[in-house]
Amino acid sequence: MPDFQLRIDSWGRLVYRDATGGEHADVVPVRAFPLTDPDHWVIICDAQGRELRCIEDLTALPDAVRTILEDELARREFVPQIRRVIQVSSYLEPAQWEVETDRGRTSFVLKTEDDVRRLGPYSALLLDSQGIRYLVADTRNLDSYGRRAVDRYL
C-alpha cells in the first residue's frame, strides 16, 4: 500500500495527499520516459512544477490509484502514431507533411530536420511546428514512400 493518495476533486483537478496528510491540489503526473518505458518513473509535480513524488513502478500501485494516474496521463499525453505518410511537400525545411495517424488524417509542418529524433533502431519521434509530437513506432511498418521520408531525416 503506498503512503500517498490521489483523488479527483469536485473541480476535476488531481489532488495528491502525502504521507503526512498534506494535500496538494492541481498536481500533474509526468512520465520520465513516456515512449520507451511508460510504466516506470512517473513524477507527480505541484502546480509550480516542483517534484512531490517519484513513482518507480505504476504496476505496483493499487488498482484505484493506478487507474486515476493512467487516466490523468492519457488526458495530458497526446502523441498520435503515424501509420502512413501520404505526402511530404519537400525535403527542404519547412516541409508540409500529410499523414494518416491512429487518430485520423492530418497535416503538419516540420520546421527543421532537428525536429525528428530516433528513439530506437526502428522508431522515431517527429515534432511539428505547433509542438505536437508524432510517433513512428516502427518504420518497417510504413510503405516504401513513408520509410524513405522518415529515414531521410534520421
* CA separation, residue 131 to residues 9, 13, 108 (Å): 29, 24, 10
Looking at residue 13, what is its pLDDT?
87
Place of cell 510504413: 142
Domain boundaries, the chain: 5-76, 82-153
Of 127, 130, 132, 131, nearest to 153 by C-alpha is 127
135-152 pLDDT tens trace: 999 999 999 999 999 999
Of 57, 53, 56, 59, nearest to 15 by C-alpha is 53
> How would residue 23 be classed by pLDDT, with cut points 50, 70 and 90?
very high
* CA separation, residue 58 to residues 19, 21, 37, 104, 140 (Å): 18, 22, 11, 29, 30
> How would residue 68 be classed by pLDDT, with cut points 50, 70 and 90?
very high
Cell numbers for 153? 531525416
Contact call for residues 51 and 41 (beta carbons, < 8 A): no
